[in-house]
Amino acid sequence: MLAFLTKRIGAGLSVLLVVPSLTFLLMFGNAANAARQILGESATPEQVAAKSAELGVNRPLYVQFVDYVGQLFVGDLGRSWFTAEPIGSLLASRATVTLTVVIGSILVSTLLAFALGIAAALRRGALDIALQVLAIVGFAVPGFWLALLLVSNLALQLRLFPATGFVAFTASPGQWLASITLPIVALMVGAVAGVAQQVRGSVIDVLEQDYVRTLRARGLPSWRVVAHVLRNASAPALTVVALTFIGTLSGAVFVERIFALPGLGLAATNAAVNGDVPVIMGVVLVMTTIVVLVNLVVDLAIGLLNPKVRLS
Amino acid sequence: MSQLVPIPAPTAVPARRGVISKVVHDPLGVISLVALLLIVLATVLAAVLAPQDPARSSLDDIFAPISAAHPLGGDSAGRDLLSRLLYGAQVSLLGATIALLASLVIGLPAGLIAGYYGRTFDSVSSWASNLLQALPAIIVLLALRTVFGPSIWTSMVIFGVILAPGAYRLVRATVSGVRNELYIDAALVSGLSDTRIIARHMLRVVRGPLIMHSAMVLAICINIQAGLEFLGFGDPQTASWGSMLNEGFLNIFQAPQMLFWPGLALFLTSAALALVASSLRDALQAGAAKPVRRRSVKAPPAGNGAVPSDALLSVRDLRVAYSGGSVEVVHGVSLDVAHGEVVGLVGESGSGKTQVALSVLDLLPTGGQVTSGAIALAGEPLLGRSASFLRTVRGHRIGYIPQEPLSNLDPSFRIGNQLSEVVRVHLGLSRAAARDRVLDLLARVGIPDPARTYRAFPHEISGGMAQRVLIAGAVSCDPELLIADEPTTALDVTVQADILDLLRDLQQEKGLGVLFVTHDFGVVADICDRVLVMRQGEIVEDGPAEAIFDTPQHDYTRSLLGSMLDGRPARLARVKATGDGRA
């Protein structure tokens, strides 16, 4: 298990090193005329040069990189080029919003998807056909369109939920729940469809295994057989949950814009519109860290469930 | 939500003839293909079909209601929504095609090379593809937009690169699955170059799965492109589905209906693509698990009254069929196993002997069912009984020993756990008592270090040990009857003899009745009192073991014995020498 964990942590670290580094080199390597963009066409060359020096983009790329990495170690993600806000504190509050919505959606959708997938695999028939339909619909329906329909119908027409904004849990648990319900529902549909389909497939695969017949031949009650099946089927399903998590982070970018949730995705969208490179860089860094951590948790869960994985 | 829903990769199946005809005969496949064709046609003919120029705006038509001139109404700038929808389709399909091509240009060759040659290239590109998938795609697109500029087409090329690992993995898995097939070896031996083999064989194998994958990728691309345009990263001058949704969003209070049509167009296009892919997948994997209703209702057991009650196990006129009863594989088999008797059920593979054995346990594979006949255990009918009744019989009164030792142990649970679960369920033992009983059992079946094996996972023990574990599991609740389905076939010859010794000892010690299914007359000679010879679902010969060996009546029995003569001279000599099936 230790060797397995070391290997997975190593893989995670390599992603954490390479992805943000590449992003940094690509983005800052291209930021030479950032000052001109910020100041506009009317600025004098002197003003542009002064702004470049202020942003630090006139230095050689490797110096900027070493400087950035050095600052990271003291927890400094730099400042926004436009608002001069420190990015670390800006993203900390935003990560809370994004993670609330994304983790909420993943938890609810995973529970639902396992229930649906297991039921469809065990019962087949009409429920199974319904799941196939859901799989196609969930895959094909653009999540942001779904979010738009939810806002337009449930929030604006029927006024069942707030259309925009995020309320902190500490401020009001009830309003907090109301503010995240529609975003979570919008993010969930695709996730449920994808994961349920995988759960169904793996459960059916495991049900065909010889050892399940042998377990039945020993006269175990159904729930005990299902427990065996589930433990064996959950590894591939959890792998899909990890992938779905990344997809849900993508989805959060749209959902945050539609529901005006001050999360990482909205920060990235606004920064991309302005060309606020350090903010996007910060979002990339934070999101890569989140993804690596989630993958590690999922790997750990798979390792605990499946002893063979621990060895390979 | 532009989620990269993992696409189930089809198992490596060589592209077969008839895939197209299968898709065409699948109603959903036809409907979705026609829908797709209509969408493409409408896109191509946008100039003809559109009521007006998509960019022409008119103050009179701002939020125009639905009318003959504006079948879907007008937008906030007084432009015709239908025209914008039709022209917008061009942007969507073009962008998606660009992304698909980019992903194939990278993924296909990389996958072919990695799958065919493996090694360094394989591990390097697998690592790179993991990296590409570590970030949410949309974040990468937003970040790289600041590098490569705001063009939506550039973004779609980048998105194609992000999706390349999908094509890469699919091609790699398919190719490496076929790489070791005999016909590829034959091609290599006959001197074909690697390039020729890749071009001739590998591309053919990859083609079907890749087309399926491409349909899914197109759907994903259409959605993500619309998403980018929705966020405002498209070309504001060009009509597109995403920018129409953006306009709808900005005017969500005045004209929420504007959100409906472009979203529906996105959904229908993606759904049609996904359905084509799913229909293709079904055609490519003929054996895939499709939604079927599992038959739980068994035919009413017939002739239960005729079952004699003195036998331990009685099977009367048993018929087993598959595919809803249309393919019968067991045609009226009757047999008895007396208390303490070992009955061999012998036949070649496909003779139906295992079907008979599994029918007794009501554990036929999916699709199989007993269509008529009667089965009784000590006079008590088993067919058509409730699941809870059968659970008290299985494991408790009938033990089952399967063929393949390792595939019959649950790989995720410790061996001790799997065995103690059974005795706890049937005998109601406490955790500690169950553990003691299982340790005793493991020692009894000849496992050298029971405590170690108790803690071990199945992959940590040998096949011979695993078979001993399964035997321990079968006899753990002191059953009256043992059903052994080729329990020695998968083992080494030396281990076979040990296992047979163990089974014989246990049988005599506990006075078990045994139904011993095998294709091996050598095994029969070793252990059986009586032999039934099965062929094509019928019993062709039935008699005491020595009689069958000395004077086989049926040609088939003689040919089975003859084949053993060729393969197992030593053992037959032993049979002849003792003149008796039992040692």
What does B236-287 look like in DSSP terms, one character per residue? TTS--HHHHHHHHHHTTTT-GGGGHHHHHHHHHHHHHHHHHHHHHHHHH-TT
Please, what is the Cα angle at B575 between B570 and B581, to 5 degrees?
140
pLDDT at B561: 80
Question: What is the number of other CB atoms lying within 10 angstroms of the CB of residue B458?
Answer: 23
Write b or e for each residue in B210-241: b if 16 or more Cβ atoms lie within 10 A of its Cβ, otherwise e. Answer: bebbbbbbbbbbbbbbbbbbbbebbeeebbbb
Residue B293 to residue A124, Cβ atoms within 8 A: yes
Q: CA B101: distance to chain centroid?
A: 31
pLDDT at B5: 42
Residue B407 to residue A11, Cβ atoms within 8 A: no
B111-146: per-residue pLDDT in tens?
A: 888 888 877 777 787 788 778 888 888 999 998 888
pLDDT at B79: 82
pLDDT at A311: 66
SS3 B348: coil
Partner-chain residue, chosen from B136, B366, B425, that has the shortest CB–CB distance to A220: B425
Average pLDDT for A141-163: 87
- Report the chain A residue with the minimal C-alpha distance to residue B137: A250
Q: Measured on CA atoms in the order B268, B269, B274, B279, is the torsion positive or negative?
A: positive
The verdict on B223 touching A (C-beta cutoff 8 Å) is yes
- A129, A250, A287, A308: best to mutate for the B interface, most B CBs within 10 A: A250
Q: Considering only CB atoms, which chain B residues are within 8 Å of A224?
A: 421, 425
| Helix/strand/coil percentages in chain B, nearest 5 | 55, 10, 30
pLDDT at B433: 93
Residue A218 to residue B232, Cβ atoms within 8 A: no
Instruction: Please list the residue range(s) of chain B that carry CATH number 1.10.3720.10.
Output: 81-285
Q: Considering only CB atoms, which chain B residues are within 8 Å of A236?
A: none
Is B96 a residue whose pLDDT tops 90? yes
Average pLDDT for B350-379: 89
In B, residues 485-514, which contact A (CB 8 Å cutoff)?
none
Distances (CA, A) of B228 to A40, B246, B517: 25, 10, 64
Task: Give the least confident one: A155-164, B227-236, B264-273, B572-581.
Answer: B572-581
Residue with tokens 């589905």: B241
A9-36: per-residue pLDDT in tens?
A: 988 898 899 988 988 988 888 877 788 8
Backbone φ, ψ for residue B539 (5° rounding): -90, 120
Contacts of B304 (CB under 8 A, 6+ apart): B374, B376, B381, B383
Q: Which two tokens stand for residue A219?
A: 């006269």
Is B305 a residue whose pLDDT tops 70? no
Q: How far apart are CA B29 and CA B23, in angstroms?
A: 5
Q: How far apart are CA B146 and CA B394, in angstroms?
A: 67
pLDDT at A268: 94
Nearest to A138 by CA among B301, B3, B52, B292: B3
pLDDT band, very low/low/confident/very high, at B8 (cuts 50, 70, 90):
very low
How close is the nearest chain A Cα to the Cα of B576, in Å?
36
Q: How far apart are CA A113 and CA A196, in angstroms?
A: 4
Instruction: Please list the residue range(s) of chain B that carry CATH number 3.40.50.300.
Output: 297-551
Is A175 a residue whose pLDDT tops 60? yes
B171-193: per-residue pLDDT in tens?
A: 988 888 887 777 878 887 887 88
Is B318 a residue whose pLDDT tops 60? yes
Architecture of the domain whose range is B81-285 = Orthogonal Bundle (1.10)
Average pLDDT for A169-194: 90
- Report the chain B residue with the minimal C-alpha distance to residue A239: B6
pLDDT at A312: 55
Residue A140 to residue B1, Cβ atoms within 8 A: no
Is B580 a residue whose pLDDT tops 90? no
> Looking at domain B297-551, does it have CATH number 3.40.50.300?
yes
Residue B4 to residue A219, Cβ atoms within 8 A: no
In B, residues 357-376, which contact A (CB 8 Å cutoff)?
358, 361, 363, 365-366
Average pLDDT for B515-530: 86
Highest mean pLDDT among B162-171, B177-186, B191-200 belongs to: B162-171
Q: Higher confidence at residue B448 or residue B204?
A: B448
pLDDT at B51: 78
- Report the chain A residue with the minimal C-alpha distance to residue B249: A148
Is B573 a residue whose pLDDT tops 50? no
Is B447 a residue whose pLDDT tops 50? yes
Q: Mean pLDDT score of chain B, rounded to an integer? A: 82
Q: Measured on CA atoms in the order B158, B163, B165, B169, is the torsion positive or negative?
A: negative
pLDDT band, very low/low/confident/very high, at B307 (cuts 50, 70, 90):
low
pLDDT band, very low/low/confident/very high, at A256 (cuts 50, 70, 90):
very high
Query: Are B88 and B186 spatial neighbours (Cβ–Cβ below 8 Å)?
Result: no
Q: Considering only CB atoms, which chain B residues are within 8 Å of A217?
A: 361, 363, 394-395, 398, 400, 402
In B, residues 93-152, which contact A (CB 8 Å cutoff)?
127, 130-131, 133-139, 142-147
B389-402: per-residue pLDDT in tens?
A: 989 999 899 999 99
Nearest to B154 by CA among B262, B238, B228, B243: B228
Q: CA B437: distance to chain centroid?
A: 37
Average pLDDT for B332-361: 89
Is A40 a residue whose pLDDT tops 90? no
Partner-chain residue, chosen from A191, A210, A308, that has the shortest CB–CB distance to B407: A210
Sheet containing B481-485: order of strands: B398-401, B481-485, B513-518, B342-346, B530-535, B538-544
pLDDT band, very low/low/confident/very high, at B309 (cuts 50, 70, 90):
low
To which H or E segment does residue A129 belong? helix A125-140
A97-140: per-residue pLDDT in tens?
A: 999 999 999 999 999 999 999 999 998 888 888 898 898 899 99
pLDDT band, very low/low/confident/very high, at B568 (cuts 50, 70, 90):
very low
Residue A194 to residue B3, Cβ atoms within 8 A: yes
Q: Considering only CB atoms, which chain A residues are within 8 Å of B8?
A: 197-198, 201
B289: left (phi over 0), alpha (psi -120 to 50) or beta: beta
SS3 B1: coil
Task: Give the least confident one: A73-82, A251-260, B50-59, B572-581.
Answer: B572-581
pLDDT at B564: 65
The verdict on B473 touching A (C-beta cutoff 8 Å) is yes
pTM, 2 dp: 0.84
Residue A269 to residue B274, Cβ atoms within 8 A: no
Q: Higher confidence at residue B83 or residue B219?
A: B219
pLDDT at A32: 74
